[in-house]
Amino acid sequence: MQHITDPLDCRLLDEFQRDFPITDHPFEVLGAALGLDEAEVIDRLTRMRATGRITRVGATIAPGAVSASTLAAVAAPEEQLEEIAALIDAEPGVNHNYQREDTWNLWFVATGPDRVHVNDTLARIARRTGLRVLDLRLVRPFNVDLGFRMSGNSRNVPGPRKVDRSAMRDGDRALLQALSSGLELVAEPYTALARSMNRSTPEVLARIKALHDAGIISRLGVIVRHRALGWSANAMVVWDMPASQIDTAGPALAAHPGVTLCYERNPVEDVWPYRLYSMIHARSRSEAQEVLSGAVALPELAGARHKVLFSTRCFKQTGALIQPKEAAA
């Protein structure tokens, strides 16, 4: 791994991107697996967060489980791109914002507690930038559990999990928001979280476990910055095909080695016809093109027109907004 030379750092990132221990001293558990003491695990993670290799130790939430989100894009004039990116980044509901190689060159994810909040975010961005905003709503995911294998090319990504929304209880939204923002890197992070919410540690641990078991928390662990770790050739590949073909094409594309995300989204009539989306995170463009060549050859994608949009810059990458900022305060 070109950016991680320490084998213990490599293992720390490799083995704990999911299934992070839900116990009083989780970093002690990690240390036992790595032959380190608790303090050294915390020090290593703190250092990697400070140097931008990880964003947080926390949770990602299953799409649509407790909040709303959409993928959106604008076509920013080149001379205004940074100004427009800053306007988009200023929206608290925007949690990802990337420049990509296309006329539609700024791609961002707008999140919020409900669809009205997301719609308001998109409307403000359209008004403040003076640009049309493509609203590309999720229809269904085939693989959205993004994880990166530090050693070797294979990724240990579990299959899709069922989401039981009935598991939600009062106070869970605030808990999920805190987990999405990240745990404190201290010996007892769940106790620190419970204290900040005026709740007991056993109650918080029980709720996190219940939400994880219900699939509402899709992944709990170390969230890495993939570009900083060597995956710098990242391409969103969009596919133009009839809705009836997605049933077979989606699962086949999601299972193809090197495809890290795959989902169906609504097209925009007369502007953006693409329904099937996939991400390829690679260390070089040639590696990404090799993955794409294999995907194009899949029989389930035969005849489908596609477009490749390489990412060139990351403007923002944070956790999702699950409840309004004033409610979280």
Is residue 260 in some structural domain?
Answer: no
Give the model's pLDDT for residue 324: 73
**Region of 6 on the Ramachandran plot (φ > 0 left; ψ -120 to 50 alpha; else beta):** beta
Mean pLDDT of all residues in 185-213: 98
The domain in which residue 183 lies consists of 1-153+161-226+318-329
Q: What is the CATH number of the domain that holds 66?
A: 1.10.10.2890
Lowest mean pLDDT among 8-17, 154-163, 200-209, 230-239: 154-163
% the chain with pLDDT above 90: 74
Is residue 37 in some structural domain?
Answer: yes
H/E element, 241: none
| Total number of domains in the chain | 1
Lowest mean pLDDT among 54-63, 140-149, 179-188, 277-286: 140-149
Whether the per-residue pLDDT at 1 is higher than 90: the answer is no
Is residue 110 in some structural domain?
Answer: yes
Distance CA 178, CA 259 (A): 30
Phi, psi of 269 (to 5 degrees): -55, 135
Distance CA 36, CA 78 (A): 49
Does this model's pTM top 0.75? My answer is: yes
Is residue 33 in some structural domain?
Answer: yes
Is residue 238 in some structural domain?
Answer: no
Q: Residue 179's closest CA among 221, 134, 215, 150?
A: 221
For residue 277, give both structure tokens.
């989306």
DSSP state of 228: G
Mean pLDDT of all residues in 276-290: 92
Is residue 9 in some structural domain?
Answer: yes
Is residue 201 in some structural domain?
Answer: yes
Is residue 262 in some structural domain?
Answer: no
Measured between alpha carbons, how far apart are the two ends of the chain, in Å? 40
Q: What is the pLDDT of residues 245-278, one digit of tens each?
A: 999 999 999 999 989 889 999 999 999 999 999 9
- Share in percent of the chain as helix, strand, coil (round to 5): 40, 25, 35
Phi, psi of 243 (to 5 degrees): -55, -35
